[in-house]
Structure 1
């Protein structure tokens, strides 16, 4: 068995032992200020009916938003700031980005 296969078997055995209550595993809490894919989707839905409409208003490509919403990509610090501004002050963001 390859090393990757052995690691997967070990991980599944650990998961099964946890589910049976035999061991405790380390857990993590996601800080409230982290933009999860669900939070990003909720921001977009609050201000636009689609990723295309969001793109038209805020100049963030529909594909980029889809990647964030599906968890395939994470926004960098500048994008996180912009998304937070859009969440709290969408009309101000629209005015600032208007051509």
Structure 2
């Protein structure tokens, strides 16, 4: 007979507790590299408004990142990495 949902849930919670207590090595850790948004924008010689507009990032979001109130999620971090490496190409793609 297979396991039930409840059994699976209890096992998952036990694994989470073990991980929290440093007793488990089974968990995977993903590190997301986030470019320094302010440095990136300044290297591109753009104001916050211009950067926000060119790359279609809400100005409030950009300000939050730069002021350290918020951190880009994994998708935004990937997008910022693309801007960092291919800024002109990214801007051109968004203009078409």
Output the TM-score relative to the length of structure 1.
Answer: 0.59
Unaligned runs of 5+ in 1: 1-32
The CA RMSD measured in Å over matched residues stands at: 2.0
Greater RCO, CA 8 A, separation 6+ = 2
Match of 1:84 in 2: 81
Is 2:29 aligned against 1:49? no
Matches within 5 A, 1:1-99: 34-35=33-34, 39-99=36-96
Runs of 4+ that moved beyond 6 A: none
Output the TM-score relative to the length of structure 2.
Answer: 0.60
Q: CA deviation at 1:46?
A: 1.7
Unaligned runs of 5+ in 2: 1-31
Q: CA deviation at 1:48?
A: 4.2
- Tell me the distance in 1 between the aligned counterparts of 2:85 and 2:49: 20
Secondary structure of 1:71's match? Answer: coil
